């Protein structure tokens, strides 16, 4: 106890951090400004705020209580954006569900999360019907009737009718505690049941602020939703764009020329996405020979951009930033902050630097590479491989109703990512592999990512994945699965193996190459477990 | 209790918010980048961080404990910036003292804050000697030996020697609670003893993040310290510039041509200051006929910029933003966010809009205008006058050892500013007066600011202040004190009164005009109480 401690928190100087306040602020400052564009609909910040207050009130009137779950199954749209505010305004927790799931998984999620309401786009009415077929008490079913038209009888009511039950002038309550849950996001694990990652108001506010900052966003920002909002709440950009008073431009389906048109029509400044989106953009826009009239920033999450991608992107007019994160870290945990002196480097050298996962955002305290054996930090030598571990305020509350997984993920005071990486001397982390994807060949570790990076340099390779294949002599050897580029002569296995052997230690080069399409999860990750299972044991 | 509540805080997902982490982050990301320039010295972020860790450790070695006070009396310099990190790294509270105070006030502050250490620039050695003359146990006296050379025997040791006692590799502890005190700033009240405003780590982190955001700051930001760092810790920009990895350019004394040279030499992008600094800049640079080679942002705090100032500033190359805040709100509480459509307005119309205090920063929940009589919000009609009241996370902990003042300031769950304002229909607040500066004439309220605004439009007026003068018939009438421009013919009282009567209701025009210099507080505020006292009762 010291003389400063007697000054207590009061209503004047302490309130729960929540991204809901950011919408309220933008509605006050930019009432008439376009908050969201969704095809032929457009809402100002005043309208967006009022609709969220109204829907929040309607949910309360329907008996939704603090800590209840409200699920949504919907593409990027104003309803989807609204739900990120309206549901927490009612004190409830938003569970935004991946639209590419099968009925069994959707059923599991709705049951596990105990969803009391489900907003769904009628495009997925059959899926929803199948998912809830065996529910004794199904959630209140609220149809979002857009492209696919009205509900064919499954819905209890439609979205706009539910909203009309609320009072647009209703106020909302801040969470009583900023540690309260705001959203629930199920991971798309490649094996087992998905885990329900719970976000807190505190982290969501901080992620919104820091994600706006790391990307230099301002009130002039126009953000195109090439990233699904159901991915970690759009990497917290559902809240970050609102924080700066920027404009959300919705995109229901990813289509390169449609993206190009929206960039030009709305003056898009920023967008995010997975490599698969960037690749498609580069291929399709490159083929059409179009370039952007103004440069746009593209934050690429989930895979290192090879030099060929950086070059093509810059030719078309995209500035690429490389991000890394997980559902458990509200999306972005690190970004590859470009250093001024990199401008002087050759494209290849720049690509090497930019391909690293980088440094922590302001919301985190530390991103460390820890020795798997003893949990101690490894030297920052770009060589010693350990597990990326993270701590800070933009890490999840934990996994819903799964204390074992929560405890395991948070052991020793760190969130354990399961990703293997090195720490470079400049304190940029670089992922070498998922822990479970390392190939152990004759006692040597082979990073599947390292082999994949070489494969991607081959001009006839569009996508590649490398997994361990059982081998009598070596224990395991690398096997490559390759999806060739569309418009070209198909490569031969021998050609690809020779290409790899020229560029890496021979024991790392694939022993076998399988050509064809690669299986993917609902979020676009290559399902390496399926590739592994396809190989003889 | 609901299913989400069982997920507790852990070391992995919750840590105390503190601006100290922002320095650590920038030192990691931008180790070689110039963090601070101070005349012929320059420190990289790595060096700055190491020096702060070292000094923090040295303070611990000297027995400084959590909750102790360390004071500093120093102009803007790298030592001053360092103390904003080093002192809290030791768990202590930084009391940055105004360098323009007299010995008695300094003595009061050191005693009241219980300073255990005083860092002081030897320029003020005599002042310090006088201030501590009657202390039984004086603080440890640490001389900062720069312009004025070495201590003449008063100091216990010098700053660099103290630093050498610490370990540059020492780690620092986060505060155990983000509500812990980080700094202590005494208000320069115009009457009575100064009050000690206590800041908390949580608010300092949030103020740093939001102040960087509202000003669109990035890693390219070069910030010139035209604002004293001892003003509300430089309006939290001591932490905000570091948050983005920008460069601090120190300035020990305010001199227009020196400011101009530094803007050009270092490529300054942002600066802050009081109107007196802006006025001096415009006069001196205007006379020299220089213009900036690149535009620089100037955040003007504490007084509305008249149209003449905006025009002159824009001609020279400054973009003005108008801020409003108090010591109690970590500096900026509101800013006058420019709306896109204002670009189409005439200069005069723009000036009217820009002269308002504006809208809250992201760190606050609400800035309201409340009825003095009943504490209820007044209509946003630009007319109803009430008190500006503020709440949110960037409001002080309270006043040190002054529970009465703390309770009074925080009554009814709001921080009461004592400023009178109206809320405009667009929800921008506009100050009409300090509560105590209103002139009540024949039962009508006259805003002294409103009369001053007209006085400032007079080409021969450099500074103006209007106070109440006793009047038998009307109770009170306005009396103007005017400081004429340097280089011109002195105006007559009649001329000024006539100028005012042409531009406002006659009862609001000053009855009397006194020409001459205006008395000011150490922070540059005009001492209206002295002006009032100079008038016959």
B2: chain A residues, CB-CB within 8 Å: 65-68
The topology under which CATH files domain A47-200 is Rossmann fold (3.40.50)
Residue B154 CA to residue B129 CA, distance in Å, equals 7
B67 closest CB neighbour out of A3, A359, A400: A3
Is A114 in contact with B3 (Cβ distance < 8 A)?
Answer: yes
Torsion (CA) A57, A58, A62, A66 in degrees, nearest 10? -40
For residue A10, the distance in angstroms to the closest alpha carbon of chain B comes to 7
Give the containing element (helix H, strand E) for A444. Answer: strand A444-446
Residue with the two structure tokens 């102040």: B211
With a CB cutoff of 8 Å and minimum separation 6, the contacts of B182 are B18, B19, B88, B93, B94, B175, B199, B200, B201, B204
Could you report the per-residue pLDDT of A223-252, keeping only the tens digit for each? 999 999 999 999 999 999 999 999 999 999
Is the Cβ of A2 closer than 8 Å to some Cβ of chain B?
Answer: yes
Give me the pLDDT at residue A187, please.
Answer: 86
- Spans in chain B with pLDDT lower than 70: 188-192, 302-303, 443, 523
Is B21 in contact with A365 (Cβ distance < 8 A)?
Answer: yes
Where along chain A do its domains lie?
A: 47-200, 254-435, 438-533
- Both tokens of residue A198? 């719970």
- Taking a contact as any Cβ pair under 8 Å apart, which residues of chain B between 363 and 402 contact chain A? 365, 390-393, 395-398, 400-401
Is A7 in contact with B406 (Cβ distance < 8 A)?
Answer: yes
B15: chain A residues, CB-CB within 8 Å: 365, 391-393
- Taking a contact as any Cβ pair under 8 Å apart, which residues of chain B between 323 and 342 contact chain A? 337, 339
Q: What is the DSSP string of B383-445?
A: ---EEEEEEETTS-SEETT-HHHHHHHTGGGSEEEEEEEEE-TTS-EEEEEEGGG-EEETTEE
Instruction: Give strand pairing partners of A420.
Output: A387, A433
Is the Cβ of A354 closer than 8 Å to some Cβ of chain B?
Answer: no
Is the Cβ of B15 closer than 8 Å to some Cβ of chain A?
Answer: yes
Is the Cβ of B343 closer than 8 Å to some Cβ of chain A?
Answer: no
Is A2 in contact with B413 (Cβ distance < 8 A)?
Answer: no
Is the Cβ of A426 closer than 8 Å to some Cβ of chain B?
Answer: yes
For residue A21, the distance in angstroms to the closest alpha carbon of chain B comes to 7
B28: chain A residues, CB-CB within 8 Å: 359-360, 427
Please give the interface size between A and B, counted as residue pairs whose CB atoms are below 8 Å apart: 162
Residue A214 CA to residue A332 CA, distance in Å, equals 10
A397: chain B residues, CB-CB within 8 Å: 4, 7, 13
> CA distances (Å), B400 to each of A28, B65, B116, in order?
34, 18, 16
Question: Mean pLDDT across the stretch A291-307?
Answer: 87
The topology under which CATH files domain A254-435 is Rossmann fold (3.40.50)
Instruction: Give which of A387, A339, A384 is closest to A359, Cα–Cα.
Output: A339
Contacts of residues A423-426 at CB distance under 8 Å and 24 or more positions apart, as own/partner, are A423/A368, A423/A369, A423/A378, A423/A379, A423/A380, A423/A381, A423/A382, A423/A384, A424/A356, A424/A380, A424/A381, A424/A382, A425/A380, A425/A381, A425/A382, A426/B31
Is the Cβ of A431 closer than 8 Å to some Cβ of chain B?
Answer: no
Is the Cβ of A204 closer than 8 Å to some Cβ of chain B?
Answer: no
For residue B533, the distance in angstroms to the closest alpha carbon of chain A comes to 34
Shortest CA distance from B16: residue in chain A: A393
Write the CATH number of the domain with boundaries B254-392+404-435: 3.40.50.12780
Contact assessment for residue B336 and residue B291, using Cβ atoms and an 8 Å cutoff = no
B67 closest CB neighbour out of A2, A13, A31: A2
pLDDT above 60 (res A286):
yes
Same fold, B20-200 and B254-392+404-435: yes
Is B3 in contact with A393 (Cβ distance < 8 A)?
Answer: no
Q: Of B4, B29, B361, which to mutate for an interface test with A (greatest number of A Cβ within 10 Å)?
A: B4
Is the Cβ of B10 closer than 8 Å to some Cβ of chain A?
Answer: yes
Residue B527 CA to residue A425 CA, distance in Å, equals 56
Is B398 in contact with A426 (Cβ distance < 8 A)?
Answer: no
Is A390 in contact with B12 (Cβ distance < 8 A)?
Answer: yes
With a CB cutoff of 8 Å and minimum separation 6, the contacts of B25 are A359, A360, A362, B243
Is B3 in contact with A67 (Cβ distance < 8 A)?
Answer: yes
Give me the pLDDT at residue A191, please.
Answer: 55
Give me the pLDDT at residue A480, please.
Answer: 95
Which of A146-160, A339-353, B248-262 is predicted with the least confidence, judged by mean pLDDT? A339-353
Contact assessment for residue B316 and residue B285, using Cβ atoms and an 8 Å cutoff = yes
Is A10 in contact with B413 (Cβ distance < 8 A)?
Answer: yes
The topology under which CATH files domain B438-533 is GMP Synthetase; Chain A, domain 3 (3.30.300)
Contact assessment for residue B10 and residue A413, using Cβ atoms and an 8 Å cutoff = yes
Contact assessment for residue A298 and residue A272, using Cβ atoms and an 8 Å cutoff = yes
Give the containing element (helix H, strand E) for A390. Answer: strand A386-392
DSSP B123: G
Is the Cβ of A45 closer than 8 Å to some Cβ of chain B?
Answer: no
Specify the CATH superfamily of domain B20-200.
Answer: ANL, N-terminal domain (3.40.50.12780)
Contact assessment for residue A13 and residue A232, using Cβ atoms and an 8 Å cutoff = no
Q: Of A7, A343, A370, which to mutate for an interface test with B (greatest number of B Cβ within 10 Å)?
A: A7
Question: Mean pLDDT across the stretch A425-433?
Answer: 91
For residue A305, the distance in angstroms to the closest alpha carbon of chain B comes to 20
Is B397 in contact with A2 (Cβ distance < 8 A)?
Answer: no
Is the Cβ of B91 closer than 8 Å to some Cβ of chain A?
Answer: no
Instruction: Give which of B107, B36, B35 is closest to B73, Cα–Cα.
Output: B107
Q: Of B12, B14, B64, B393, which to mutate for an interface test with A (greatest number of A Cβ within 10 Å)?
A: B12
Contact assessment for residue B12 and residue B31, using Cβ atoms and an 8 Å cutoff = no
- How many Å separate Cα B398 from the centre of its chain? 17
Neighbour-count burial of B214, counting CB atoms closer than 10 A to its CB (0-12 exposed, 13-18 middle, 19+ buried): buried
B31: chain A residues, CB-CB within 8 Å: 426-427
Is B14 in contact with A179 (Cβ distance < 8 A)?
Answer: yes
Give me the pLDDT at residue A190, please.
Answer: 52
With a CB cutoff of 8 Å and minimum separation 6, the contacts of B206 are B17, B362, B363, B393, B394
Neighbour-count burial of A272, counting CB atoms closer than 10 A to its CB (0-12 exposed, 13-18 middle, 19+ buried): buried
A212: chain B residues, CB-CB within 8 Å: 213
Tell me what ipTM this predicted complex has: 0.88
Contact assessment for residue B413 and residue A12, using Cβ atoms and an 8 Å cutoff = yes
For residue B292, the distance in angstroms to the closest alpha carbon of chain A comes to 24
Q: Of A13, A19, A182, A267, which to mutate for an interface test with B (greatest number of B Cβ within 10 Å)?
A: A13
B360: chain A residues, CB-CB within 8 Å: 25, 28
Q: Report the mean per-residue pLDDT for chain A.
A: 93
- pTM metric for this prediction: 0.89
Shortest CA distance from B10: residue in chain A: A413
Is the Cβ of B94 closer than 8 Å to some Cβ of chain A?
Answer: no
């Amino acid at each position: 106890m010291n003389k400063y401690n007697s000054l207590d928190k009061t209503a004047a100087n302490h309130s729960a951090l929540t991204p809901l306040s950011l919408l309220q602020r933008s509605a006050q400052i930019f009432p008439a400004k376009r908050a969201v564009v969704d095809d032929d609909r457009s809402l100002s910040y005043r309208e967006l705020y009022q609709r969220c207050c109204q829907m929040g009130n309607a949910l309360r009137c329907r008996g939704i209580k603090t800590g209840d779950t409200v699920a949504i199954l919907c593409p990027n749209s104003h309803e989807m954006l609204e739900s990120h505010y309206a549901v927490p305004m009612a004190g409830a927790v938003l569970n935004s569900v991946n639209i590419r799931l099968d009925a069994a998984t959707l059923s599991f999620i709705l049951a596990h999360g105990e969803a009391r309401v489900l907003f769904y786009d009628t495009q997925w009415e059959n899926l929803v019907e199948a998912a809830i077929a065996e529910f004794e008490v199904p959630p209140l079913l609220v149809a979002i009737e857009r492209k696919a038209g009205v509900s064919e009888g499954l819905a209890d009511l439609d979205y706009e009718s539910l909203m009309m039950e609320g009072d647009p002038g209703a106020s909302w309550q801040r969470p009583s505690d900023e540690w309260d849950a705001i959203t629930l996001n199920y991971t798309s694990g490649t094996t087992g049941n998905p885990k329900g990652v719970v976000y807190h108001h505190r982290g969501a506010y901080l992620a919104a602020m820091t994600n706006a900052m790391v990307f230099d966003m301002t009130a002039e920002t126009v953000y195109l939703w090439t990233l699904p909002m159901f991915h970690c709440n759009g990497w917290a950009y559902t809240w970050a764009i609102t924080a700066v008073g920027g404009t959300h431009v919705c995109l229901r389906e990813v289509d390169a020329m449609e993206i190009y048109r929206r960039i030009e029509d709305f003056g898009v400044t920023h967008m995010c996405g997975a490599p698969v989106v960037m690749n498609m953009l580069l291929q399709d826009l490159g083929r059409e020979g179009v370039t952007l009239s103004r440069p746009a920033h593209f934050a690429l999450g989930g895979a290192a951009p090879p030099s060929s991608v950086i070059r093509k992107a810059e030719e078309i007019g995209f500035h690429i930033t490389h991000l890394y994160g997980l559902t458990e870290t509200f999306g972005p945990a690190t970004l590859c902050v470009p250093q001024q002196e990199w401008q002087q480097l050759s494209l290849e050298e720049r690509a090497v630097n930019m391909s690293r996962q980088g440094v922590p955002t302001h919301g985190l305290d530390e991103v460390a590479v820890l020795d798997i054996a003893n949990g101690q930090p490894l030297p920052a030598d770009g060589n010693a491989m350990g597990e990326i571990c993270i701590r800070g305020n933009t890490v999840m509350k934990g996994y819903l109703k799964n204390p074992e997984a929560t405890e395991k993920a948070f052991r020793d005071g760190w969130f354990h990512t399961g990703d293997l990486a090195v720490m470079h001397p400049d304190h940029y982390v670089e992922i070498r592999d998922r822990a479970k994807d390392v190939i152990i060949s004759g006692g040597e570790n082979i990073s599947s990512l390292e082999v994949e990076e070489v494969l991607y340099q081959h001009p006839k390779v569009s996508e590649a994945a490398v997994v361990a294949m059982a081998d009598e002599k070596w224990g395991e050897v690398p096997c490559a699965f390759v999806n060739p580029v569309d418009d070209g002569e198909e490569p031969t296995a021998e050609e690809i193996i020779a290409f790899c052997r020229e560029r890496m230690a021979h024991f790392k080069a694939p022993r076998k190459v399988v050509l064809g399409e690669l299986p993917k999860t609902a979020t676009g990750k290559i399902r390496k477990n399926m590739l592994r299972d396809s190989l003889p044991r």
